[in-house]
Structure 1
Amino acid sequence: MFQNLLFQKEKAVATVQLHRPQKKNSLNGELRRELEECFKEVANNRDIRVVIVTGGEEVFCAGADIAEIQESLSAESAYKHAREFQLLFDQIEDLPQPVIAAVSGYALGGGCELALACDFRIASDTAKLGLPEIKIGAFPGGGGTQRLPRLIGATKAKEIILTGDPINAEQALAIGLVMKVVAKEKLLDEARQFAGKLALLPRLAMEASKRVINRGLQVDLSSGLELEARCFGNLAITHDLKEGTLAFLEKRKPNFTGD
Structure 2
Amino acid sequence: MAYSIWRCMLNRSATRWHLYRSLSLYNSSHGFNAEEIKNKLAPFTGGSVTLVKGENGIAELCIDNPSRMNAFTGTMMMELEERISDLENWQEGKGLIVYGAKNTFCSGSDLNAVKAISNPKDGILMCMLMQNTLTRLQRLPLISVALVQGKALGGGAELCTACDFRLMTEDSEIRFVHKLMGLVPGWGGATRLIQLVGSRNALKLLSSTLRVHPQYALNIGLADDILSSGTDGPLEKTQTWIASYTKGAAEVNRAVKKVITSGREKLIEDSLRSEKDIFGTVWGGPANMQALEKGTKHN
2:122 paired residue number: 77
What is the root-mean-square deviation of aligned Cα atoms in Å? Answer: 1.8
Quote the offset at 1:135 in angstroms: 0.9
Quote the offset at 1:110 in angstroms: 0.8
| Counterpart check, 1:198 vs 2:242 | no
| Counterpart check, 1:37 vs 2:82 | yes
Q: Distance in 1 between the 2:62 and 2:156 partners? A: 12
Higher relative contact order structure (alpha carbons within 8 Å, sequence separation ≥ 6): 2
Q: Are 2:108 and 2:154, in contact at CA under 8 Å, matched by a contact in 1?
A: yes
Moved more, 102-111 or 48-57: 48-57
2:296 paired residue number: none
2:151 aligns with one of 106, 121, 124: 106
1:207 paired residue number: 254
Among the aligned pairs, what percent are the same residue?
Answer: 26
Moved more, 181-190 or 52-61: 181-190
Q: Would the alpha carbon gap of residues 218 and 49 (structure 1) be closer, same or farther in structure 2, given more than 3 Å must change?
A: closer
Q: Distance in 1 between the 2:51 and 2:229 partners? A: 21
Give the SS at the match of 1:111. Answer: helix
In the TM superposition, structure 1's runs of 4+ consecutive aligned residues that sit over 3 Å from their partners are none
Which structure 1 segments of 5+ residues have no match? Answer: 221-259
| Counterpart check, 1:139 vs 2:139 | no
Q: Distance in 2 between the 1:167 and 1:88 partners? A: 25
TM-score normalised by structure 1 residue count: 0.79
Q: Are 1:56 and 1:104, in contact at CA under 8 Å, matched by a contact in 2?
A: no
Which structure 2 segments of 5+ residues have no match? Answer: 1-45, 268-299
Deviations 1:124-170 (A, max 9, x none): 01110011110121111111110001110000000001111221111
Q: Would the alpha carbon gap of residues 43 and 218 (structure 1) be closer, same or farther in structure 2, given more than 3 Å must change?
A: closer
Deviations 1:98-140 (A, max 9, x none): 1111110100111111110001111101110011110121111
Q: Are 2:218 and 2:225, in contact at CA under 8 Å, matched by a contact in 1?
A: yes
Q: Are 2:170 and 2:226, in contact at CA under 8 Å, matched by a contact in 1?
A: yes
TM-score normalised by structure 2 residue count: 0.69
Quote the offset at 1:212 in angstroms: 2.2
Aligned AA (1:145): A
Give the SS at the match of 2:71. Answer: coil
